[in-house]
Amino acid sequence: MAVTIPPDLLARYDRPGPRYTSYPTAPVWTEAFGPEQYAERLRASGARADEPVSLYVHVPYCASMCWYCGCSVVVSRNQRKVDEYVDYVLREAALVREHLGTARPVLQHHWGGGTPTSLSPPAIRRLFAGLQRLFPFAPGAEVSVEVDPRVTTREHLEALVAEGCTRLSMGVQDFDPKVQRAIHREQPLEVTSRLVEQARALGFTSINVDLVYGLPHQHVDGFRRTLRLVDTLSPDRIACYSYAHVPWLKKHQQVLDEAALPRGAAKLELLRAAIEHFCGHGYEPIGMDHFAKADDELAVAARAGKLHRNFMGYTTRPAGEMLAFGVTSIGEVDGAFVQNHKEVPHWKQLLDRGVLPVHKGHRRSADDDARRRIILDLMCQFRLRFHEHGGAPPFRARYAVELERLRPMADDGLCTIDDEGITVNPTGRLLVRNLCMCFDAYLDRGGAPAAGRFSRTI
């Protein structure tokens, strides 16, 4: 994985593109898919009562705004207001359960944000208990929550572990004080270390740490220091995300000094430093931006070719559907994607009226599903085998135009195309989003334009 991308190649492929947590991507979805269409999909899904689902809850509240953040966030320190949110999430979950007509066992249960631990410990217990009554855990379910070490207390951790949570994911981004000040997120190593120690003592079995490369004032030497400090935490998994600079979508990012952002080759060097460091310290690379200890089930699944990807990232539990609750949350039911309204007041008003708070969605076609499988193979396995997609002659005939788009990338060494299929080469792993874009039927071809919609691929 110690790969160098020549400057001309870097300039050619450093362009806006999706991260492909879904296909088709969210800009393709429309408001023509609303509450009635979602209810129809839920009723169809209810016929598969024994099949497990994933469950996602979005808690948007944060005590302050991190200026690099690309998530849907509401800044509030009003604890009563924050805890009241639980009532509405449970109201939405009950409404979804009513349309399903049955309970579905939950194989993967995750809370994201925002900051889920902006909820008080009693509110956490109440939300977990209410959701489990409606949607019980399947045996061996993975239960995880994102936390902010700056606001998470031992009482929060005790409430989470008491309700069955075993996995924590926490943001670090960078331990360099100058970088932290620039992104408005000051978080000393001691704060994070204390939370990790408390979590392990209480019985959490998996700790994930998030890093971000491409932030203001980051440079290789400083980032390597952060990587060494992360070693002292000994996390089970590490996510090292590319900073998505989209100030036209996230207005608070306009505060950042663009001149201080590492770009192109300078940004890629940060990723190279992370890959070389973690691969040299007992971690295996997973997908395009994750690392896991060799005995972690994510690494085991990657080696076995059983990795999956959804809105929660890479996972070992590929439940066919995902129920999602809370503002701006995204679900997947009966072959359709669905996203809730993004404003808390409107989301609440619809629930007060007993209406599913859907903003937009998309019912996938057979062609969407076929292309989605291609993209998932490239993103998760770094290879595609023609025989798993109907055989070489049909695949080559159906995707002749796409393969022609891919061929210059093969000439550049990003991938290999042979009689068996497509293999993503080490250089191509750093640019796998570009490879996937070749099979995106909507991108810059009468659908969603990349520019102004997506962050850059490097």
Read off the pLDDT band of 450 (50, 70, 90): low
Instruction: Give 284's strand partners.
Output: 292
pLDDT (average), residues 312-340: 91
Alpha-carbon gap, residue 14 to 431, rounded angstroms: 9
pLDDT (average), residues 299-306: 88
pLDDT for residue 2 is more than 60: no
Q: Quick one: DSSP state of residue 455?
A: -
Structure tokens at 309: 């990807």
Read off the pLDDT band of 8 (50, 70, 90): confident
pLDDT score for 7: 80
pLDDT score for 200: 97
pLDDT score for 207: 97
Range with lowest mean pLDDT among 12-21, 182-191, 290-299: 12-21
| pLDDT tens string 108-124 | 999 999 999 999 999 99
Judging by DSSP bridges, how do beta strands 53-59 and 106-113 pair with one another? Answer: parallel
Would the CATH topology of 1-20+365-447 be identical to that of 21-363? no
pLDDT for residue 413 is more than 60: yes
Q: Is residue 1 a contact partner of residue 276, using CB atoms and an 8 Å limit?
A: yes
pLDDT score for 417: 97
Alpha-carbon gap, residue 192 to 445, rounded angstroms: 45
pLDDT score for 315: 82
Is it true that domain 21-363 has CATH number 3.30.420.40? no
* Long-range Cβ pairs for the range 272-276 (8 Å, 24+): 272/2, 272/3, 272/4, 273/220, 273/223, 273/224, 273/227, 274/211, 274/213, 274/223, 274/227, 274/240, 275/1, 275/2, 276/1, 276/2
Alpha-carbon gap, residue 274 to 223, rounded angstroms: 8
pLDDT for residue 221 is more than 60: yes
pLDDT for residue 241 is more than 70: yes
pLDDT (average), residues 51-75: 94
Cis upstream peptide for 24 (omega within 30°): yes
User: Could you give the dihedral angle defined by the CA atoms of residues 441, 445, 448 and 451, in that order, rounded to the nearest 10 degrees?
Assistant: 120
pLDDT score for 456: 80
pLDDT for residue 449 is more than 60: no
Q: Quick one: DSSP state of residue 359?
A: E
Percent of the chain at pLDDT > 90 equals: 79
pLDDT (average), residues 417-442: 94
Angular region, 198: left φ>0, alpha ψ -120 to 50, beta rest: alpha
Cis upstream peptide for 114 (omega within 30°): yes
pLDDT score for 452: 62
Alpha-carbon gap, residue 437 to 71, rounded angstroms: 23
Q: Could you tell me which residue, 204 or 16, shows the higher pLDDT? A: 204
pLDDT for residue 446 is more than 60: no
Which DSSP string do the residues of 105-141 spell out, in sequence order? Answer: -EEEEEEEES-GGGS-HHHHHHHHHHHHHHSPEEEEE
Q: Which of 59, 72, 75 is nearest to 128 (CA)?
A: 59
Q: Quick one: DSSP state of residue 188?
A: -
Alpha-carbon gap, residue 9 to 13, rounded angstroms: 6
Q: Is residue 213 a contact partner of residue 239, using CB atoms and an 8 Å limit?
A: no
Mean pLDDT of the chain: 93
pLDDT score for 451: 57
Structure tokens at 136: 């019980």
Q: Is residue 142 a contact partner of residue 167, using CB atoms and an 8 Å limit?
A: yes
Alpha-carbon gap, residue 277 to 280, rounded angstroms: 5
Alpha-carbon gap, residue 31 to 358, rounded angstroms: 9
pLDDT for residue 1 is more than 60: no
CATH architecture of the domain 1-20+365-447 equals Orthogonal Bundle (1.10)
Read off the pLDDT band of 390 (50, 70, 90): very high
Domain chopping of the chain, boundaries: 1-20+365-447, 21-363
Q: Quick one: DSSP state of residue 253?
A: G
Alpha-carbon gap, residue 372 to 364, rounded angstroms: 10
pLDDT (average), residues 288-296: 91
Say whether pTM exceeds 0.85: yes
Assign 406 to helix, strand or coil: helix
pLDDT for residue 447 is more than 80: no
Q: Mention every residue, 6+ apart, whose C-beta is less than 8 A from residue 334.
A: 41, 42, 44, 45, 321
b/e 164-191 (16+ beta carbons within 10 angstroms → b): ebebbbbbbbbbbeebbebbebebeeee
